[in-house]
Structures are given as structure tokens and as C-alpha cells.
A and B are shown apart, each in its own frame.
Chain A
């Protein structure tokens, strides 16, 4: 009886895909099925797909017809006295959104007839889809520098409208927005790398950090600190593959190079990269580094306890002492990065963003006026970086890339209390001036993290030598990214 029950129930207890099994067919005429439907469906699907759905396809190597003489991809500034219309602007959510939003009032004083529809949007999730499908395309978008090249074919070439300003823009920012002779973004902020250091902790053991001028000096200071505090790892070594690669590019930018040249050709295998990676490897092998992911609990704890005292990072590290390091706030200072050679450049760029104008936008030329105002008009850039409701002391996590706005003697933001009242503005502006050009960002930069950024982590683990990192990463990036373009 019991056994009979059990089998009786088996049939109606639930049938898993039994339609996929031929034997079931005779036993269960209703709802029975077999493997063939899947195969048949596949065949039908294939036939229909190849015939109907999908994008337009060209045989052989595609490519657009040659552009007409008057290049339709280059944006022209609007003509006429009082331009009017409505523009849609996408920004990242958060404080920066609020800063731009507040600046719209100033913009409308100059252009009263342009209405700005300013939206906080998940740009990473939306922009690609929007551009590809051409639906509801915004007129202007805030975008990471590293992503500009990847979207270039959907964007206006701004070289014409930027022409009056381009000579006054930090060359690094022009480079990252340039591709094949066009400029595809309005450069926003400049993010000079700085050497943040815990002045109080260093002074306690008699180290004067201001005397550090080269990376060799930094090593020497770190050794000294380490001998005084054996539990320390004075220099930050980044554990996130993405940020480690970003920081590597900061070091490289000091030497006027980057992972690829303006033609997109890989140039990782160079004396410059060998030198930087060798230096990082020395930090590791001598136990002079603290390996942690940027501002995770581990990182914060070692910063607060004085075990991590040197943080070569972009200017935006400044918010850490202001918000996340209550114990050591006031102890931190910033100085220009050490140079690789005595007398070498003490500035390198790490991260940054620009504004792009999609070709599918309806009022791109009006959006240009908006960004022109924000970046190149004194009322505009003062509204962005100067004291405002959101940042009472001004926005001190970056500086303008437009040189007339970045004047060492006319600070836009106030001295920073968490840096002991230091005038971060002049330090950053000075470092920013020294950033060499010649460091474009290839479209596949983010994809390279899986190779270069990851291999750097393996080097920090002691598994790879700097030479290995260069060779392996070069081969993988060449095969998986450069050749798949």
C-alpha cells in the first residue's frame, strides 16, 4: 500500500522537462514531448533570424561611405543673437549633479531662452543603449575620460567649437578626448596626482616629507619610517585591479606616456613602464607597502593608525581626510608627486571626466553653449568650483582643466581644514601645470584591467616580475582587445 502510494504520487508530483525525453511520449500522450521540438525550433529560429530580424548587414568589410567634403560630424556653434530652445543634460547623481544644477541659474542669466532639463541618470547603464538605439538621446552627457573614445562614433567632433579655447586647456585633457584628429569631449576637470602624506606621523619619527623630490627619495623616507615603526607599510599599494591600473597610468602620465599611443597601438613594453613597475615591485619586496583596496575598512584602519602614511593618488583623495579619517584629519598634507628623474615632471593625471555631445541630440549646439559657459566662462567655472550651497568651501576634489580658470593666485576653493588649513588649490594647480601631454586613453582601456590591472596584483603577490607583467599583459591585450576592435 505504501509503495503503491509513492508511485502513484510520482506521476503527478511534478514533471521536469519530461517533454525532452522520447520515452515519455508513448506513456503520456497529453503534454508529452521529445527532443525534436527544440531542434526544430532552433532550425525555425535560425531561418527566420537570418532572413528578417537584426541590424542592416553589409557583405564583406563594411564601413561607411567616404564623408562628404563639409564634414557632417563636426559640430558648429549656433549663430544668432539669442539662441533659444530646450536641452537635456545627463549628469551623475550626487553632489556633482547638485553643483551643476545650481549653476543652471547662472547660465540662464546669460542665455535666458535656453531651458535646461537636467537629469541625474545612471549613465553607465544607459548611455550605450541610448546611443545605439537612438532613443531619447540627450544633448549633453557627463562621461569618464576613459569612456570617451569608445563612444566617439556617436559623438560630435568638437574641434571646431573648442578651437578658441584648446590652447588654454591642459594638454592631457585634450589628448584623452582626441581620436583621429577629432576632439569628442568638452574637457571638464583636471585630476592631478598628488602625494598625500601624514605629516604628524612622519614628524614624530623625524621625517620631513617636503624634502621628497624623487621616487627614490620617497623610498628612502619609507625605509626610514619603516625602521622607526616596523609594523608599518608606509606606501599605499592598490588592491583593486581597476584602481591599480588607473594609478599606474598616473605614474606613466608623469613620464608622458600611456598604455597606447594616439593610433591605438599598444606601447606597454617600454622603459617607462618597466621603471614604474620595478619601483612598485621594490616597495613590495622591501615590505614598504600596505596593500589594501582604496578606502575599504582595511585601508581606513591603517591610515588612521599611522601604519600607512604615503598615498600617491589623484587629488580626489582629499575627501578622505575630510570625511572618513576623523582620527587623523588635520594631520594630512598634499604635495606634488615625486619626480621619476631629478627635475622631471611632478604632475601626472589620474581619472577625470568630460562632457560629450551625442550626434543624436536635438539641440547639441545649445548644449555646447551650456558646457562652454560652465567651463570657459568665469561665472560658470566659479559656480562649479567656488563656494556654494553644496560645498561651502568649494569643490576641492579636482581643479579646472581650463588654464585661465586654474590660476594659482586666484583660488576658487578654500584652504582645507582636514589638511591642516593647507592651500590645496595652489598645490594642485602647480602639479596640474606639470602634467605632460601625449597620454591618450584607448577605447579598450577598461577592458585592459582584466589583463594589466590583474597582472599587477599578481606582481604584488610575488608571482610575477615586472617583466612578466609587461609581456603577459601586452600579449593578452593585443589579442583580446586591440585585434578585436
Chain B
């Protein structure tokens, strides 16, 4: 134990298996119940007759369960196309962000170069600017580039967002310089430092960034709604928002109930792949860290 390296902490920690654990279990179970109950309500409601969702929202009668909302939703909106487009955007935008954000953050955190501070200051300002005001300028830009209704318009703006760089910079700044210097002495080149030293150390934060990035891309709708006007380019959230518009307004419209049913069905279908991704991420990143450090 000469140096204390983050991520290499020896685990598992010795802890008393005692009343404390039992109490934490009860606390956590109750809390997850509160966290999951509303989502469970939404999932269950998707199987209720549409008008019952509105007129009797809290009950659930298994005998009247129905797939009507799902069949109607699949018939009405191109949710399959939505999945496909979201998948394409997710793969490319996610990969760009998860690779280039830590890389740029590493550059900012561990090197000096002219204008660095000014650049980073600009990053901070854009971070604090509400995205909603940027929509029109960005859209004008897309028009100039001829990118409206293209994948690049869905992928590039917002890829490597300022927040990702900000966060990763603060995480990488915490990696001790001695560690990097030691690796340099061992003949590590600069990029190898990043790949072999920095990335393993920041893995927990990287996992967090992956969660955030996936979720942001998956659930983003303001930008896709305005930039993807053709059905061919509609992402999953664009599909959801065309359903939701009739409800978020003021319940005007004869099909308020049926649309609510379709919306809940679509939201349920949309949620499943995301949960699968998270369970996979969880295994890959978080458990991976644990396993590795136990061995180490």
C-alpha cells in the first residue's frame, strides 16, 4: 500500500452483518417501492380499457385487462420506425460522446495549452444556457447546411455535450499526476496513458456518464421533434410526443381517453429496451469494477 489509488480500493469492505443491514434493507425496499409504484401504475394502466384509465385511474381489474391500447397504438404510430431511428442515433451519438468527451476532458485536465482556460470558460457558459433558446439558431444552421431530416442533424448537435466534458474533466483532474508520470517513465505514450491509466480509474464515473448519455439521447424530444419532420426520421420520442400533444394541452378532443391509453402503451414499450440497456450497463461497468478490484 504505497500509493492509494482510486478504483483499486480493496474490497469487499468488512461490515457488520447486523441490525443495521436489516434496517437498511427495509429502508431500501420501501424506498424502491415508492420509486417503482408510479411506473408500475403506468405499466398496468396500459392494459386497462382506455376510458377506465381516465374515469377510474386507481383501480385495476384483471378480468377487464386488454391489449386494445397496444394494438391501437401499433396501428396508429410508426413506433417500429421510431425504435430503429433511436437505435441509430443512440449508437453513433453515444459512441461519439462516450469516447470524445473523456478524451477532451483529459486534454483539459492534464495538459496546458494556449487559450485552454478561455475555451473551458466558454464550455461553462454554454452549460448554463437553457437549451430551449438554442433551438431556433440551431435549426437555422441545419437549414443552411441542408441537414434537416437527416441523421447527422439528429446526431451531431448535442454530441459531446458540454456537461459530459465538464463532468469528466472534474473526475480526471482527481487522478493523481504521479500515476501518469509513473506510466510515462514506463514508456507509455500520451494516448496510451488515457486508455490504460485514466479510463480504468474513472470507470465508475464513465458508467454514470453512459447512463446519462443513453438516457439523454433516448428521451430527448425537443430537438428531434423540430429537426425530424418526416415520419422516416422520427425517433421514438417524436412518436410519443405526437401522441402526447393531445393530452398535455387541455384535454380537448373526443379521443382524449383513447390517446391516453395509446400513450401509456407506447411509453411502456419505450421503457423496456432502456431497462435492458441499463441492466447490461450495470453488469458491464459496475460489477466489472468490483470483480476487478476484488482480484487485484
Q: Which of B51, B121, B135, B169 contacts A324 (CB 8 A)?
A: B51
Contact with B along A304-340 (1 / 0, CB 8 A): 1000000000001011001111100000000000000
Give residues 197-217 of B contacting A (CB, 8 Å): none
Contact A324 B174 (CB under 8 A): no
Residue in B108, B117, B169 whose Cβ sees the most chain A Cβ within 10 Å:
B117
A128-146: CB near B (< 8 Å → 1, else 0) gives: 0110111110000000000
Q: Which residue of A is nearest B231, CB measured?
A: A119
User: B142 at interface (Cβ–Cβ under 8 A)?
Assistant: yes
B77, B110, B254 — most chain A CB neighbours (10 Å): B254
Smallest CB–CB gap between A316 and chain B, Å?
Answer: 6
Q: Are A120 and B242 in contact (CB-based, < 8 A)?
A: yes
Contact present for B246 and A38 (CB under 8 Å): no
Q: Are B117 and A135 in contact (CB under 8 A)?
A: no
B112: chain A residues within 8 A (beta carbon): 29-30
Closest residue to A98 on the B side, CB-wise? B76
- A294–B121 CA distance with the chains assembled, in angstroms: 49
One of B122, B149, B173, B251 near A295 (C-beta < 8 A): B251
Tell whether, in the assembled complex, residue B110 and residue A324 are in contact, meaning their CB atoms are under 8 Å apart: no
**Among B54, B109, B140, B258, which residue has its beta carbon within 8 angstroms of that of A31?**
B109
Q: Are A135 and B142 in contact (CB under 8 A)?
A: yes
CB contacts under 8 Å to B, within A199-251, are 240, 242-243, 246
Near A by CB (< 8 A), chain B positions 37-70 give 51, 54-55, 57
- Chain B nearest CB, measured from A16 CB (Å): 6
- Assess the B170–A16 pair: CB atoms within 8 A: yes
Whole-angstrom CA separation of A45 from B77 in the bound complex: 43
A343 at the interface (CB under 8 A from B): no
Which residues on B sit within 8 Å (CB–CB) of A120?
77, 242
**Shortest distance in angstroms between B128's beta carbon and chain A's nearest beta carbon?**
10
Contacting residues of chain A (2-50) with chain B, CB-CB under 8 angstroms: 5, 8-9, 11-19, 28-31, 33-34, 36-42, 44-45
* Residue A351 at the chain B interface, CB threshold 8 Å: yes
Shortest Cβ distance from residue A95 to the other chain B in the assembled complex, whole angstroms: 4
Known contacts A12-B6, A295-B251, A316-B253; is-contact A136 B149 (Cβ 8 Å): yes
Interface size class of A (residues with CB under 8 A): 35 or more
B137 neighbours in A (Cβ, 8 Å): 53
Residues of A within 8 A of B257 (CB): 323-324
Q: How far is the CB of A87 from chain B (nearest CB, A)?
A: 14
Q: A14-B170, A93-B259 are in contact. Are A294 and B251 (CB under 8 A)?
A: yes
Minimum CB–CB distance for A220 against chain B, Å: 31
**Distance in Å: Cβ of B154 to nearest Cβ of chain A:** 14
For residue A186, give the distance in angstroms from its CB to the closest CB of chain B: 20
A33 to B109, alpha carbons, bound, how many Å?
10
Question: Secondary structure of the A side of the interface?
Answer: helix
Distance in angstroms from B284 CB to nearest chain A CB is 23
Binds A, one of B11-19, B80-88, B222-230: B222-230
Interface SS, B side: helix
Tell me which residues from 234 to 264 in chain B have a Cβ below 8 Å from any Cβ of chain A.
238, 241-246, 249-259
Interface string of B136-149 (1 = CB under 8 A from A): 11011011000011
Asked if residues A126 and B229 are in contact (CB atoms below 8 Å), the reply is yes
Contact B242 A93 (CB under 8 A): yes
**Given the complex of chains A and B, what is the CA–CA distance between A40 and B229 in angstroms?**
39
A122 touching B250 in the complex, CB below 8 Å, given contacts A13-B174, A135-B143: no
Nearest B residue to A33, CB-CB = B117
What residues on B are CB-neighbors of A38 within 8 Å?
A: 121, 124-125
Q: Is the CB of B122 within 8 A of A41?
A: yes
At the interface, yes or no: B118 with Cβ under 8 Å from chain A? Answer: yes
Which residues of A lie under 8 Å from residue B117 when comparing CB positions?
Answer: 19, 33-34, 36-37, 40
Residue of B nearest to A136 (CB): B229
Chain B residues positioned under 8 Å from A326 (CB to CB): 51, 55
CB-CB under 8 A from B243, the residues of chain A are: 93
Complex Cα spacing A21 to B152, Å: 38
Question: In the bound complex, what is the Cα–Cα distance between A123 and B241 (angstroms)?
Answer: 10
Interface residue A427 (Cβ < 8 Å from any Cβ of B): no
Whether B118 lies near A40 (C-beta < 8 A) is: yes
Find out whether the CB atom of A9 lies under 8 angstroms from the CB atom of B120: no
Given contacts A14-B174, A126-B225, A295-B54, contact A94 B120 (CB under 8 A): no
- Within 96-129 of B, Cβ neighbours of A (below 8 Å) are at 108-112, 117-122, 124-125
A-side residues, CB < 8 A to B, are 5, 8-9, 11-19, 28-31, 33-34, 36-42, 44-45, 53, 92-96, 98, 119-126, 129-130, 132-136, 240, 242-243, 246, 294-295, 297, 300, 304, 316, 318-319, 322-326, 351, 395, 397
- Contacts A19-B117, A44-B122 supplied; 7 other A-B pairs, CB < 8 Å: A19-B120, A122-B241, A125-B245, A134-B143, A240-B250, A294-B250, A323-B51
29 sample A-B contacts, Cβ–Cβ < 8 Å, listed by A number: A12-B6, A14-B174, A30-B111, A37-B120, A40-B117, A40-B121, A92-B245, A93-B77, A93-B246, A94-B258, A95-B255, A98-B76, A119-B229, A125-B225, A125-B226, A129-B226, A133-B143, A135-B139, A135-B229, A136-B229, A294-B251, A295-B251, A295-B256, A300-B54, A323-B257, A324-B51, A324-B54, A324-B55, A395-B254
